[in-house]
Structure 1
């Protein structure tokens, strides 16, 4: 694109000073005649470029134009170069492009501001990666990225708990990286959906495009989706009988306030107490109750009690089958 090339010429002249038409053509991969036309266009736009004849001549910017080109204050330079390239951009394969953009910006800075950049790099480093984060494989992220960018429908196979897989056709509206975890925002005929990219076991591009709603705002949708999800947390209540051996450990899950609630409960002859506890969801409640083993009994709701019994029976049956096989 010509606009990109004109900007490149400005950056090259600011970085290198005087440059010949041949050198500019080599750097921008166009003919010298095109460079002449580009220089004329820049001059017509008010960019102060002058030429010097001779063997060592060429084109150059007047010195006073350097600050006009970047227009960055000292504070802006300091804030800008505190940024590091986040890991999600590595996942998308665009970190090298961003790194190149930073280098071009650095080259366009006046000497004084470039020294500010170096001071910032020496004194600040932001590492947003968690200790347990990294090493994950997202083989289908690039395909989804391509589909999102080209408004192309895809067929995805999703993995659900207990090895269940389903295949669905979706219109990928956008990708969101939250805390280093990639999520796919997409549309199905039933409405909007959000899937974790790590849960996709297969992705296939389809020869079918879709039209995004003109008023769709990815950031606004994500904010609303997160708010709705957050509001749904801690919304599943269950009544449990709890063994005395488990009571001291409840604070690890429910905080210290649970101890006051436990002390207010009346224990039976064996020391068991009955408490009404709140979990993030039905599934979170079942997972935690199964982990507590024989130290807890579900009183209600009945659906949770039956589900825990069913899972416990499946576990017992599995170990019995494996014992027989040995």
Structure 2
């Protein structure tokens, strides 16, 4: 077990150049004290590891040191051959290169492992699309990708959630996919922002380059950004009774809705539920969609809003057919 961890430390340092004891401990799921003991063991075995002090310090390998430790375990081989999202690879223009890379990797495996790798393709498939998937065209996707690799500044025209557009010059830092939706991450001045890629109407690559921050980690930033977004979502709660026949469908609406609490069904079979929405308007639209299959208990203003909206719909269609 320890030998595997020591091998992993060397490969991590070889891949990332420098890592703190804390980062290594988190990656390998051990304590920092264990990492320090491992470093002593590696040094005693002749592996040239050393610690850099200071704010941005960490553990490193001596320059130009390379290890030939490439033995793969069965589970590691399986992880490499899990089918990636075909849609996301297609968006990035990497479908064919991905297939070619996996074919080459397959050919490099010992015969004993080759059949196991093929079994992964036969038994596991990942599909990030929705049931009623609609392909969203991203007009500037190729320009965004090129600017990220070349570190060119971009002039983008972006449509905000309220429908208004603005133009600004940004420094592209990366792309992140949430489900099947792409987000463009870029800095503007001192701030880093997420832009929904499909709302970027145009992007023009400028001759001016920028210096990418050495300490920017896209995965860590995206995780923190996502958590902050969720934590800061407004909450509008509705207490209601739901018909048992619709309960399995309550979460499949494509809206920001969460079932905060669910209680045992009453004698009539109806299920007490507390919903949490982002806003009153979203709650109204969601609840209207279930008609008489959800009975709102609180707040009372939502009951009044539902009645008013239903009466408006009846009046509208009555005028149409009278």
> TM-score when scaled to structure 2?
0.54
Deviations 1:86-107 (A, max 9, x none): 4212211122222221111112
* Residue matched to 1:186: 186
Contact 1:184 1:195 in 2 (8 A): yes
**In the TM superposition, what is the alpha-carbon distance from 1:137 to its structure 2 partner?**
1.8
- SS of the residue 2:171 aligns to: strand
Q: Which consecutive residues of structure 2, in runs of 5 or more, have no partner in the other structure?
A: 1-67, 251-256, 265-273
* Residue matched to 1:103: 103
* Residue matched to 1:151: 151
* 1:161–1:128 CA distance, 2 compared to 1 (3 A): same
Q: How does 1:207-218 map to 2 (within 5 A)?
A: 207-218=207-218
**d(CA) in 1 for partners of 2:284 and 2:164?**
18
* Residue matched to 1:93: 93
* Residue matched to 2:124: 125
**In the TM superposition, what is the alpha-carbon distance from 1:143 to its structure 2 partner?**
0.9
**d(CA) in 2 for partners of 1:219 and 1:179?**
15
Contact 2:260 2:275 in 1 (8 A): no
**d(CA) in 2 for partners of 1:133 and 1:174?**
24
**d(CA) in 1 for partners of 2:300 and 2:117?**
63
**d(CA) in 2 for partners of 1:195 and 1:287?**
26
**In the TM superposition, what is the alpha-carbon distance from 1:204 to its structure 2 partner?**
1.3
* 1:185–1:287 CA distance, 2 compared to 1 (3 A): farther
* Residue matched to 1:59: none
**d(CA) in 2 for partners of 1:158 and 1:152?**
18
Deviations 1:207-234 (A, max 9, x none): 211112221111111111111111022x
Higher Cα Rg, which structure: 1
Which of 276, 279, 289 in structure 1 is aligned with 2:277? 279
**In the TM superposition, what is the alpha-carbon distance from 1:188 to its structure 2 partner?**
1.0
Contact 1:148 1:173 in 2 (8 A): yes
**In the TM superposition, what is the alpha-carbon distance from 1:286 to its structure 2 partner?**
7.5
* Residue matched to 2:223: 223
- SS of the residue 2:132 aligns to: coil
* 1:239–1:170 CA distance, 2 compared to 1 (3 A): same
**In the TM superposition, what is the alpha-carbon distance from 1:200 to its structure 2 partner?**
1.2
Report which of the two has the higher share of helix.
1
**In the TM superposition, what is the alpha-carbon distance from 1:78 to its structure 2 partner?**
3.3
Q: Which consecutive residues of structure 1, in runs of 5 or more, have no partner in the other structure?
A: 1-67, 241-245, 261-275, 301-307
- SS of the residue 1:138 aligns to: coil
- SS of the residue 1:103 aligns to: helix
Task: Provide the alpha-carbon RMSD of the alignment.
Answer: 4.4
> TM-score when scaled to structure 1?
0.54
* 1:180–1:239 CA distance, 2 compared to 1 (3 A): closer
Contact 1:154 1:205 in 2 (8 A): yes
**In the TM superposition, what is the alpha-carbon distance from 1:134 to its structure 2 partner?**
4.9
Contact 1:239 1:299 in 2 (8 A): no
Deviations 1:74-124 (A, max 9, x none): 443334223335421221112222222111111212222223333333x31
* 1:82–1:279 CA distance, 2 compared to 1 (3 A): closer
* Residue matched to 1:195: 195
**In the TM superposition, what is the alpha-carbon distance from 1:171 to its structure 2 partner?**
1.1
**d(CA) in 2 for partners of 1:285 and 1:119?**
46
- SS of the residue 2:105 aligns to: helix
**d(CA) in 2 for partners of 1:184 and 1:113?**
38
- SS of the residue 1:202 aligns to: strand
- SS of the residue 2:127 aligns to: coil
- SS of the residue 2:128 aligns to: coil
**d(CA) in 2 for partners of 1:96 and 1:171?**
29
Contact 2:172 2:187 in 1 (8 A): yes
